């Protein structure tokens, strides 16, 4: 905590800091999270406490909340797929390659990357996918390389780089299954009977040698 406070107030690792008095009470305040970066930060801190650093990949899917006006592509709450890769000598090219391959395997190949600002990553990129039904480019995620001054207080080695991304679960699903309104996937307009009837696919050791979807359960 002391290292985080010092980094905010005085800077370090090439940063001049934010120049304000960091307060533990403010950091401990409860609020509806707008993204899941806090989860990644907690996990990276645990990685940094190991005796020796080993490259690692971490993933999570969690609920997030936004002050949004709901329409065909916006919800006040949705799910974010978070991913981080920590290793030596990672670059922006690695980040673009991982994201491109991730969506390619889902059949989404029309992607664009736009420079963006995030307080915890540099460089940062917004990810856009083309929605053929809506006939427009839709933002489906955000990404970047964690800034050194974010990683240093955790205790990670200075030579370690962390690429990270947060991707909406619902918007890529819209593109993949040609859905033109996000509210049919999640929210108050979704029918309970549809949710109960939807199959849940589970992959485990008992289903490893079965045919596709044979191991699915409801």
> pLDDT tier at 215 (50, 70, 90 boundaries)?
very low
> pLDDT tier at 201 (50, 70, 90 boundaries)?
low
Token reading at 80: 């974010």
- What's the DSSP call for residue 215? T
Helix (H) or strand (E) holding 27: helix 24-27
**Contact at 8 Å (CB) between 110 and 138?**
no
When pLDDT is averaged across residues 111-119 and rounded to a whole number, the result is 93
- Average pLDDT value over all residues in the chain: 84
Tell me the β-bridge partners of 112. 128
Nearest 10 degrees: CA dihedral of 170, 186, 134, 81?
-10
Measured at the CA of 155, the angle between CA 41 and CA 28, to 5 degrees, comes to: 45
């Amino acid at each position: 905590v002391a290292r985080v406070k010092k980094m905010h107030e005085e800077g370090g690792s090439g940063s001049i800091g934010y120049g304000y008095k960091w307060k533990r009470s403010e950091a401990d305040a409860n609020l509806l999270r707008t993204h899941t970066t806090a989860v990644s930060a907690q996990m990276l801190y645990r990685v940094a406490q190991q005796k020796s650093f080993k490259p690692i990949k971490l993933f999570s899917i969690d609920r997030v909340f936004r002050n949004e006006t709901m329409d065909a592509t916006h919800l006040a709450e949705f799910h974010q797929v978070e991913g981080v890769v920590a290793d030596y000598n990672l670059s922006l090219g690695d980040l673009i390659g991982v994201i491109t391959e991730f969506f390619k395997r889902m059949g989404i190949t029309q992607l664009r990357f736009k420079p963006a600002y995030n307080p915890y990553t540099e460089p940062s990129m917004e990810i856009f996918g083309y929605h053929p039904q809506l006939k427009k480019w839709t933002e489906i995620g955000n990404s970047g390389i964690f800034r050194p001054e974010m990683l240093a207080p955790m205790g990670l080695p200075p030579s370690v780089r962390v690429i990270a991304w947060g991707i909406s679960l619902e918007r890529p699903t819209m593109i993949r299954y040609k859905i033109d309104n996000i509210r049919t996937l999640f929210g108050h307009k979704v029918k309970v009977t549809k949710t109960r009837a939807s199959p849940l696919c589970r992959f485990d050791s008992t289903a490893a040698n079965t045919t596709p979807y044979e191991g699915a359960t409801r």
